[in-house]
Structure 1
């Protein structure tokens, strides 16, 4: 472990530490966006669902291009554009006073995330030795959740459910993050630059799309992940609206803020033991187990009426989340062709279709069925979240066949 930590590049540490503060800033504002729109702006659940969903919808279509363009023009340019763009977006949130302005800002928020996320993960994969990649990806995931531990609590203290000050603070944090990245890229100018195209054919956007779309294992993983993310997305969208609106819960926004922080704390506690167990399994199996647990937790949220019940649901949800997402980066890195690593990380961004559908489906169910049908609502979203399991099972079967084929070829080559 110590040897692997020493092998982590300073630029990787910058991204990991920057992720802590970036996610802290984001999680003290964005998770409360649904509540803010309903409570302060007077939006309906359906309107709120559309505003929340647009971020992921833009991300679905932009993430592939964001990852691809980082393969062509270099990780550095894409990272800096997206980070400083993010800063402007959060300042825009802070001054917005119309629902349509929140719609526009959240669309740009999705665009910045779609550019930054696949590019930062591809850069981490580029500069990290193979034996340390699992550790680096999990440190990044731990950094996300460390930020989320404190972000919602700070958001509650700032009154994020009824004030827009938290957005301004997030904007300042991303400006500082961008300045830090500039300093690191000056120190290491050879990193994050565009790859030389000498001696090899330049991969066009259509060629990159065809390559990834014809990779059947990758496609099955992607479809399965869409449904995994669909279940995950209900936590910050449907559940947030439900807890704010239901008369059975007093001060639901505060409850939800504590649930977000508790979710992150549980991640930090169980992440590395769970990853140690999951790393011994075939890489798709943790995603399947995680999907089952997330679906079960959604059922618990539908029937719970006490703080203890909701916290039990958070524990089960969090273990499922860890199983689904800690191994995803390693899995994609294993599947991806090296020259298209950024493209593959961008293409997996299509799993954000789940984040698009979650607030739309949840808002529609809350509007049409009403709060009195909470059990039915959460049964429906739990069942739909489990639809990805057959696709993940198919991907696992195909990967096993490929591994057996490789093992049978090795003796022949010898």
Structure 2
């Protein structure tokens, strides 16, 4: 599906999301250090445990709103909240107010995300969803590659200007959603509006998500996603520790009397940079190559490639082998990204797509919560045993995916075969 043939909603949102993600990655990598300097490491570590919990609540509520009042209103609420919080952050003279604004930014993003993904599914055919989601993943990762490099300059030296720029871009994007994007909520999802009090809203939301989580197939999908997410999160956790403690600085290239060497932190930085670059350059080609593959085979292969690639890193300290294995686990990671959203889009009933998207986000939030377990295990286990644990969770994830697709209704499997044919 060529970009020129896309629905106008998608074109506007691709541009807006890409710009916003660029700005997001200009401040997000440095926010923990910012609060550590402000409050001290012990307090900052406790404070930074709150945003993932807020994200879980926000994502579930955002999915509920997108199915009850519409994708566009839920996206507007999240986008305008982010613009407001950026402005508060820019005007603030208190670190506690900075923290509240940061929590608000996370909440706004969590409200926005399920409705955003549901809208993509609403306006694309099942056949084109993988490539469209892959394009959005590419746009997001452009920011992840270039944002930190720019943020290392602007966040520390021009923070006020950066935050006002974030405010302006987010506000303009919110206005574009308000005036240029149409509602896509399916007619089957429209129900009579009832004036609930807060307790009534919470009760209905609880009942709605209760139905989703009693869905055995979707529950297995969430559990498998949590396990593989624990592995994915190690890029910023145990992998960083391993490279710092076990990988010595070494020469990357030597030519005659000249050489170019990297320290341990620089080697880790290059590995992350390679991972981000592969996401930008290879998501679309890899998605195209796997176009005829079933969702089952892609999800299983993705988990296995990531686990094997990470485990192989634990067998070497050679810089070129580290880069080679980074490519292996990166292909596993990036091949999965578009399929997870297309699976939920195709599996969820159209009238509950937003809530399924919100529930699907739990796999990343819960995975992030349990990911530090590897740091805890490293106090008792060798590095190879920790990498073995990472491989184990991906193997279990693969086994759950196998079971999941065995019990999927034949109607879903037949439909997917028609889409891929």
* TM-score between the two structures when normalised by the length of structure 2: 0.78
2:56 to 52, 57, 60: 60
Q: Could you say which residue in structure 2 is the equivalent of 1:229?
A: 229
Please point out which of 341, 344, 353 is paired with 2:356.
344
Aligned to 2:254: none
Q: For structure 2, list consecutive stretches of 5 or more residues without a partner in the other structure.
A: 195-200, 250-261, 417-421
Which of 12, 17, 31 lines up with 1:14 in the alignment? 12
Corresponding position of 1:191: 183
> 1:194 and 1:274 mapped to 2: Cα distance?
31
Q: CA distance change for structure 1 residues 115 and 227 in 2, over 3 Å: closer, same or farther?
A: same
Matched, 1:208 2:208: yes
CA shift at 1:311, angstroms? 2.4
- Secondary structure of 1:327 counterpart: helix
Residues 198, 381 of structure 1: alpha-carbon distance in 2 compared, 3 angstrom cutoff: closer
Shift of 1:140: 0.6
What count of residue pairs does the alignment treat as equivalent?
A: 394
Instruction: State how far apart, in whole Å, the 2-side matches of 1:91 and 1:356 are.
Output: 29
Contact 1:259–1:314 under 8 Å retained in 2: yes
Residue aligning to 2:23: 25
Partner of 2:138: 142
Alignment of 1:127 onto 2:123: yes
Aligned residue number for residue 367 of structure 2: 354
Query: Aligned partners of 1:294 and 1:388: how far apart in 2?
Result: 11
Q: Aligned equivalents of 1:382 and 1:96: distance in 2?
A: 46
Deviation, structure 1 residue 69: 0.9
Contact 2:119–2:185 under 8 Å retained in 1: no
Following superposition, the deviation at residue 381 of structure 1 comes to 3.4
- Is 1:176 the counterpart of 2:207? The answer is no
Partner of residue 295 from structure 1, selected from 295, 307, 310? 307
Q: Distance in 2 between matches of 1:389 and 1:216?
A: 17
Residue pair 2:133, 2:342 contacting (<8 A) in 1 also: yes
TM-score, structure 1 as length reference: 0.80
SS at match of 1:29: helix
Aligned-residue CA RMSD in angstroms? Answer: 3.7
* Structure 1, unaligned runs of 5 or more: 408-414
Stretch deviating more after TM superposition (165-174 or 381-390): 165-174
SS at match of 1:284: helix
Find the counterpart in structure 2 of residue 269 from structure 1.
281
Residues 201 and 155 of structure 1, relative CA distance in 2, 3 Å threshold: closer
**Per-residue deviation at 1:400?**
6.3
SS in 1 for 2:183: coil
Greater shift after overlay, 14-23 or 83-92?
83-92
Matches within 5 A, 1:146-161: 146-158=142-154
Does 204-213 or 339-348 show the bigger shift?
Answer: 204-213
CA positional deviation for 1:228: 1.5
Q: Secondary structure at the match of 2:295?
A: coil
Once residues 242 and 89 of structure 2 are traced to their aligned partners in structure 1, the CA distance between those partners, rounded to angstroms, is 23
Tell me if the contact between 1:23 and 1:148 (Cα under 8 Å) persists in the aligned partners: yes
